[in-house]
Structure 1
Amino acid sequence: MCKEICTMAFLRAIVAEFLATMIFVFFGLSSALKWPSALPSIVQISLAFGLAIGTMVQMFGHVSGAHINPAVTIAFLVGNHISFLRSVFYVVAQLVGGITGAGILYLVTPINTRGNLAVNALNNNTSPGQALVVEIILTFQLAMCIFASTDKRRTDAIGSPALSIGLSVTLGHLIGIYFTGCSMNPARSFAPAVVMKRFSTAHWVFWFGPIIGAVLASLLYNYFLFPYSLNVSERVAIVKGTYEPEEEWEDSRGENHRL
């Protein structure tokens, strides 16, 4: 495990997750502020969140994978894509980054416009149970899109993963805002709640819904629809952070022979 985390690449990935989540939360929440001159529309907010995610994926995808979402990170852990320690560091970086982004927005926004800083809440008489199901569905489609659009095994023309993921987030917001303000991301919900000190009794929905939806998508995609041919020892090694793909081992062996 130490071999994985004691590297500059690992540090860069953690910093990338922090910065990506900070910028995403800042731009996303900014789009939902109630400016006296012009109230935001559902389409505007949806596009802002989608464009923010797409931009962050393009900027940081090659550094950390640009999860920008604790639910997505947990889904990648369940799907045997990252180690347990990496997932823990990622989630912490995302939560701290989100709080930082919301805090900066709070400081630069005029008092009469801050409102509740777009804290997620149940809308239109939506019950906690209904909200939970909605958040599960919204995040399920997002996670499925992420796994499908970033799968390196695909040989067909998949287009731009950043654009696909951004559109998936936009789609979720176009519907989810009416129910819950649309979370799909515990860091997005947690950050403004911390800054505003405003935790509702239904705040748990914005953790359990996205995490359950993302995990279900991970199980379906990675173990049924398009499973990876890994044995038990390889899967354990990935979780421990000690897995080295055979092609990488062959490359390193070749380099040793040349020395």
Structure 2
Amino acid sequence: MSGVDQLKTKEFWRAVGGEFVAMLLFVLLGVGSTIDWESAPSDSKSIASCPTQSDRTNLISLCFALSSATMVQCFGHISGGHINPAVTLAMVVTRKVTIIKGVFYLLAQLVGAVAGAGIAHLAAPPDFRENLGVTGLGKNVSGELGLLVELLLTFQLVFTIFTSCDPKRTDLGGSTALAIGASVWIGHSFGIPFTGASMNPARSFGPSVIATNFKDHWVYWVGPFLGAIMAALLYEHIFCPSSGEPSPGRVIRREANGGLHR
């Protein structure tokens, strides 16, 4: 399970590189969608087209959801398309990836998130750069409540991933990437007012590093990690026990149509 021998293979480093690029693009696109154009200076030419708060919530939710689905579709066959340390931890806990791969995936995801947030920071107008994309607790939301919300949101995301990518299932149809994207959209639609709906420690880590703002940052690590572990163990050992054999990844070969399905 340590997987040290994997360090010698090109496939391993290709997968790690895939996680880096996927996370960079995911954070860049997602953080870019959080720019609050409504707060632009009154002489800004873009102010006439500014969305309402409700529209912004929908915009951010859809951008993160579709970005997630797109990255899964693009990198699922390369790295499994984790794009989330919580997902990687769930895969390690259930022995679907090795410990060494999990460690390098985590490093690649964190570096990619910082790079993506940095690019978004440089591309944004100066008026919008402060705390750009930083997740924070909503008004009157305590750290304990934020922890619970992040735990539940990540639980439903990881449970969706495990159910959608189970190689033992024969009833799967449609796009798994879109199913995962829909789970991300649901989580954001509910969770943005509470915690910003991170569900992803790296997504929160990148902007926090660039803004040097780590207020309540622990919530976005503890909550997602606990939720991911709970979802993975519950699915693997209660709802749909596995054979105990480690899975090579989260790309599922569909023999019926000769294609690959994440």
Q: TM-score, normalised by structure 2?
A: 0.86
Given that 2:164 and 2:172 are in contact with CA atoms closer than 8 Å, whether structure 1 keeps it comes out as no
1:10 aligns to what SS in structure 2? helix
User: Aligned partners of 2:8, 2:199: CA distance in 1, in Å?
Assistant: 31
Q: Tell me the percent identity.
A: 48
Match in the other structure for 1:77: 92
Task: Give, in whole Å, the separation in 1 of the partners of 2:158 and 2:174.
Answer: 17
> Deviations along 1:62-91, whole A, 9 cap, x unmatched?
110000000010001111101000000000
1:142 aligns with: 157
Residue aligned with 1:33, SS: coil
Question: C-alpha displacement at 1:113, in angstroms?
Answer: 2.1
**Structure number, greater radius of gyration:** 1
1:205 counterpart residue number: 219
The letter for the 1-side match of 2:180 is I
Q: Please tell me whether residue 157 in structure 1 is matched to residue 159 in structure 2.
A: no
> How many angstroms apart in 1 are the aligned matches of 2:101 and 2:164?
22
CA contact (8 A) 1:34 1:114 kept: no
CA contact (8 A) 2:143 2:219 kept: yes
1:3 and 2:5 aligned? yes
Deviation at 1:6, TM superposition (A): 1.0
Aligned partner (choices 234, 239, 245) of residue 220 of structure 1: 234
- The residue matched to 1:154 in structure 2 has which SS? coil
Matched, 1:185 2:200: yes
Please give the per-residue CA displacement for 1:97-138, whole angstroms capped at 9, x wherever unaligned. 000000111111110122311211111210001110000000
Equivalent pair of 1:34/1:115 in contact (CA under 8 Å): no
Q: SS where residue 185 of structure 2 aligns?
A: helix
Q: Pick from 81, 92, 107: which aligns with 2:122?
A: 107
Structure 2 partner of 1:51: 66
CA distance in 1, matches of 2:86, 2:162: 13
Other structure's SS at 1:122 match: coil
Root-mean-square deviation (Å): 1.4
1:148 CA drift (Å): 0.8
CA distance in 2, matches of 1:196, 1:215: 29
Q: Return the offset for 1:157.
A: 3.1
Q: Size of the alignment, in residue pairs?
A: 233
Q: TM-score, normalised by structure 1?
A: 0.87
| Residue type at the aligned position of 1:16 | G
> How far is 1:46 from its partner?
0.2
Matched, 1:29 2:38: no
Q: CA deviation at 1:2?
A: 3.5
Q: Counterpart of 2:14?
A: 12
Displacement after TM superposition at 1:229 (Å): 1.7
Quote how far apart the aligned CAs of 1:10 are: 0.4
Amino acid at match of 2:213: R
Secondary structure (helix, strand or coil) at the match of 2:11 reads helix
The whole-number CA distance in structure 2 between the counterparts of 1:153 and 1:210 is 26
- In 2, the alpha carbon distance for the partners of 1:57 and 1:118 equals 21
Give the partner amino acid of 2:25: I
- Tell me the distance in 1 between the aligned counterparts of 2:235 and 2:97: 16
Q: Which has the higher helix share?
A: 1
Rounded Cα–Cα distance in structure 1 between residues aligned with 2:165 and 2:10: 24
Q: Please tell me whether the aligned partners of residues 150 and 161 of structure 1 are also in contact (alpha carbons under 8 angstroms).
A: yes
